[in-house]
Structures are given as structure tokens and as C-alpha cells.
Structure 1
Amino acid sequence: MPSSEDFYLEYQGLLLPRETHCTESLKFAQEFIFNDDDVVAVTYPKSGTTWMQEILPLVLNGGDLTPVHTVVNWDRVPWLEETRLAKIVDKLPSPRALVTHFHYSLMPPSFHTSKARVIYVMRNPKDVMVSSYYFHQMANFLEDPGTFDEFMEKFLEGRVLFGKWTDHVKSWRHAELGDRILFITYEEMVQDLSASIKRMSDFLCCDLSKDVIQKIAEHCSFRSMKANIMSNFSLVPKEYMDNEKSPFLRKGIAGDWKNHFSSDQLARFKSVINRELEGEKFPLPWSLD
């Protein structure tokens, strides 16, 4: 029976999947040279990464749909830390869009000396955990999640990809980046995607028209992305991701946690998260109740 070490490598105390990460890719990430006009979408896993891989190219190129119909999303907006970046980095158009699950402390030296901008997407951790639970069921390169209760304990203890949710959020909330960082929530995007895209456009000084913003929002709807083979991960072989067990783009909603948590699990989850965030000055944009 495979062990955790067969699935994950440990990097700076965090678990990363061996299927998409290796010593060389992490070294490449640390030596990566950021350009001043680069844009990085930062997320804790299952917090809207794929959504940002759809939105960012369209915001940066003025709404031209060509790349999202012709280039798979992991090449369109690659992960900083994954093996794929080294193979396609020279093909990325400027301004380049990247995504990362790195904590702030793991960003390479060139990031700190550049003017590269960050959009940090936060999502209610209860929905993050539910989404991650289903992802572990369908991703054959990840360890079986066990029962929902067992996975919740792993999640709260940080024995999951990229560690504790609270540590990730705190690392970026304390980042001293000034006007280089925009904080936005998954829930804001669900509620009013056009308004969220307008915020991103303004932050990136793209000056998109109302019509272009509406066009991007329509294309980046859950229904549209689920139908786009360049974005829905259906091109990934079944041996790696089995969409029959659970679709990669599952629901795309906020609040699905209400269909999964018992009252005892909710109390346990809330207690741990509140303890981890005790003394923090930034408010959570949603209630943990």
C-alpha cells in the first residue's frame, strides 16, 4: 500500500504533489526572474486558481478570447512552482500571468525586488476543505482522503497540500507589498463577477470598457468554463484525474459546506480556525458559523 511519501515531497515543511513538483522545479522557481509587469494570482489550493487562469489572460489582453480557446490553462497561466513552467516560460506573452500556491516567505528574491503585482484570492475555508476533499477523491496522484471527518482533521492540522490554510492567509496578509497586492474573495467573484473583474482591471491599470468586462465575465462563468476543454481539465488522462469519480469543475458555488458539515464538525472547525487566527487584525470576509 503506498505511503504519503510516495505521493508527496516535503518542501520547507509543506507537502507538495510529486506528480507536478520536483527538486528541479522548486530550484527553478527560486531562481525565476520576475519582470516588473508580471502578474501573479496567489491562492491556497481550491480557492479559485483555475478561475484566475481564465480571467487573467483576458483582462491583460483586452478581452481577446483566442488564448483561452487555443491554449490549455496550465500553459496559459502556469504555476510558478511546478515542473511545467521551465518548458513553456519562454512562450509566455508579456505581460506574463502566473499562479502560485506558495506562501509569501517562499517567493523568490526577484519577486521582492520587482514591481510584479499580486492578486490574492481568499475563499471560505469550509468550502476550500470540501472542494479539496472531492479533488483528493478524483486525483489519483494524491493520497486517498479517507472519510470526511478524517480529512477535516488533516486539513486543520496542515497535513495537506501547502500546509494550513490559516498560515497561508496570514503569510500574505502580512506581506509588505503596498499597492502591489489586491485582496479579493471567491465569494465576491461568485456574487458579482463583472464587479470583481472591474476591480482587477483597475488594479492592473488595464482600463477595460464596460462591454469588455461583461464579455470576460460571460466567458468566465462556471458554465462556460465547464464546457471549455482548454479549461476544464478533461484533457488530463484518466489515470491522473478521474472525472467520473468527481468532476474537476464540480459546482463553482459558495456555501456548499452547508451540505457536508455536521454541527459537531462545524464547532470543531470554527474552534481551530479561530484559535489559529487569534490576535490577527485583518477581518474575515465571511462568518465561520
Structure 2
Amino acid sequence: MSAYFWFEGIPFPAMLYKREIIKESRDKFVIRDEDTVIVTYPKSGTNWLIEIVCLIQTKGNPKWIQSVPTWERSPWIETKKELSMLINMEGPRLMSSHLPFHLFPKSFFRSKAKVIYVIRNPRDVLVSGYFFGRNTNLIDNPESLGTYIERFLKGNVPYGSWFEHTRDWLSMRKNDNFLLLSYEDMKENTRGTIRKICDFLGKKLEPDELDLVLKYSSFQAMKENKMYNFSIIRKDVNINGLVLMRKGVPGDWKNHFTVAQAENFDKVFQEKMAGFSPGLFPWK
């Protein structure tokens, strides 16, 4: 894993992240009461949620999302350039992070800031991460899906173990300033999810405004939005014709796992997520 550095047990792609910035964001960055943070494990629907929240803020008007890149509307806490942007931003801020619980800014835990956390079937997360990684030079590309499954189950992938990330963040689920969403529910009932986010953020949308949020956060609309679809990304990241949005379909893992791989994954999932109600995880 030469393309990584490790910080407190978590591997980070060295091209995008710096140890001192992650440390600074944890120890010094001040999250304010009025801020909203979108937190996910990678490949769980982060950018889709950012589009939805941004559209809720503009009552469905697409001008903002079509003129400002995703990472400037909701900067990442753990990258140098975007952390500086956040520090200098006035008023309520929207920000994003994949950071595990123990590396998250300490100031958050003393604040009333709101976190929206999205979980997704880890099998789909794994497949999405595998194909994403194969099209970039950000990580060491595994020779096969089987190799990647082994790495994923051990936590030797960007941001570490899905199981630990999810377990630790779910410890917040009864807090008033924490909203838990699932990618699968977002897909199945997008309108209901938007209403849930509005309630959580104290926003009110008229029916026609909600229709606009639905329209401009659809898979097709986002695929065509240049401010979202990676067509303006940094030139030093080799993206080999990368498309950020591949399928966006729950259950795609079934097209890629062998029966043995699926059984082994289930076994590890049961062990690692013991103690959680199965109803918490809405995937089949």
C-alpha cells in the first residue's frame, strides 16, 4: 500500500491528504453550532446528499449547484485547501467528511452542530470503491475483486474499516443533532428522505420546491452537471476516463461476488456488527 500513509490506524491516500492537516482539523478546527456536516464512509452517496442539501437551501433553484463545484459548496474538513476555505467562511457552513469518529474535529462534540450520516450496504460500497480505484492513481489498484474484498474486510482501504467507521458513528444515533440515513432508503423514497432532511435542518419546502429538489438531484441531472461530475477535477489525478457516477443502483454487488465471497462477507458482517438491530440495516 505504497500510495497510503497511516495515521492513528487509518490509511489515507497520500496524494490527497496530509497527516498534519488531519491532525489540525481534529485538534484545532472549530465547528460552530450553526454548521451542518455530511459524514459518510467513502462511496456511500456523499455527493448525492450534498446536492440534495444544497438544493434544499436554495428551495430547488439549481443556479448554485450548476455554477459552483461540489467541494466549494460543501468543503472537505480533511483536505488542506478546503479546510482553509472553511476556516474563512462566514455564517452557517455546510461541510463534508469521511473521517472516522476518533479523528473527527473535537470541537464538534462540544457543539450543537448537526451531522447527517449515510450508511450503505458495505458490499455495494466495496464494489463501487473497487471500480473507482481501478480508474484512478489515488490508491494501489488491486489485481482482482477478490484481493480488494480481502483488503476491505481487514480495513486496508482508504479511511480504514467500514465496520469500525459505521459502528463508532452509530453510537451517536440517539442524539438530537444526528440524522441517520441509508442510501437504500434514499433510493427507494427520495421524496420522503428530502422531507426528513428538511425537518432535521428546520427547513420548509413548498410542494413545487420539493419537486425541483427531486428533479435536480436525480441521477441523470447530476451526471450532466459539470460542477459535480469530475469533468473539472485536478489535472494531477489520473482519472482514465473516470465517471464519478457508475450505476447508483443498490444490490449491484450481486453481479460481482461469488457465492463463497458473499458467504464469507456475511460471516464477517455478523461478527463485526453483532449487537446492532438488523432493522438498522435496510439492505437485502
Q: Which TM-score band applies after superposition, normalised by the shorter structure?
A: over 0.9
Give yes or no for the alignment of 1:236 onto 2:240. no
More deviation in 147-156 or 203-212? Answer: 203-212
Give yes or no for the alignment of 1:80 onto 2:77. yes
Q: CA deviation at 1:123?
A: 0.3
The within-5 A match list for 1:1-289 is 4-5=1-2, 7-30=3-26, 31-89=28-86, 92=89, 94-175=91-172, 178-237=175-234, 239-244=236-241, 246-281=242-277, 283-287=279-283
8 Å CA contact 1:126–1:257 kept in 2: the answer is: yes
8 Å CA contact 1:17–1:161 kept in 2: the answer is: yes
Secondary structure, counterpart of 1:286 in structure 2? coil
Q: Percent identity?
A: 35
- Show CA shifts across 1:158-201 (max 9, x none): 10111111111110111276110111110111112121111100
Query: Which amino acid in 1 is paired with 2:269?
Result: I
Give, in whole Å, the separation in 1 of the partners of 2:109 and 2:58: 25
- Show CA shifts across 1:112-139 (max 9, x none): 1111001110101110000000011112
Q: CA deviation at 1:281?
A: 4.3
Instruction: Identify if the C-alpha distance between structure 1 residues 263 and 238 changes in structure 2 by more than 3 Å, giving closer, same or farther.
Output: farther
Q: State the aligned residue count.
A: 283
Give, in whole Å, the separation in 2 of the partners of 1:227 and 1:176: 34
Q: CA deviation at 1:287?
A: 4.8
Give, in whole Å, the separation in 1 of the partners of 2:18 and 2:283: 37
Q: CA deviation at 1:280?
A: 3.0
Instruction: Identify if the C-alpha distance between structure 1 residues 91 and 221 changes in structure 2 by more than 3 Å, giving closer, same or farther.
Output: farther
Instruction: Identify if the C-alpha distance between structure 1 residues 89 and 237 changes in structure 2 by more than 3 Å, giving closer, same or farther.
Output: closer
TM-score scaled to structure 1, two decimals?
Answer: 0.92
Instruction: Identify if the C-alpha distance between structure 1 residues 162 and 192 changes in structure 2 by more than 3 Å, giving closer, same or farther.
Output: same
Instruction: Identify if the C-alpha distance between structure 1 residues 160 and 177 changes in structure 2 by more than 3 Å, giving closer, same or farther.
Output: same
* Structure 2 unmatched ranges of 5 or more: none
8 Å CA contact 2:75–2:83 kept in 1: the answer is: no
Q: CA deviation at 1:93?
A: 5.8
Instruction: Identify if the C-alpha distance between structure 1 residues 229 and 133 changes in structure 2 by more than 3 Å, giving closer, same or farther.
Output: same
8 Å CA contact 1:43–1:49 kept in 2: the answer is: yes
8 Å CA contact 1:41–1:120 kept in 2: the answer is: yes
Give, in whole Å, the separation in 2 of the partners of 1:286 and 1:176: 15
Give, in whole Å, the separation in 2 of the partners of 1:287 and 1:105: 27
More deviation in 231-240 or 112-121? Answer: 231-240
TM-score scaled to structure 2, two decimals?
Answer: 0.93
8 Å CA contact 2:223–2:229 kept in 1: the answer is: yes
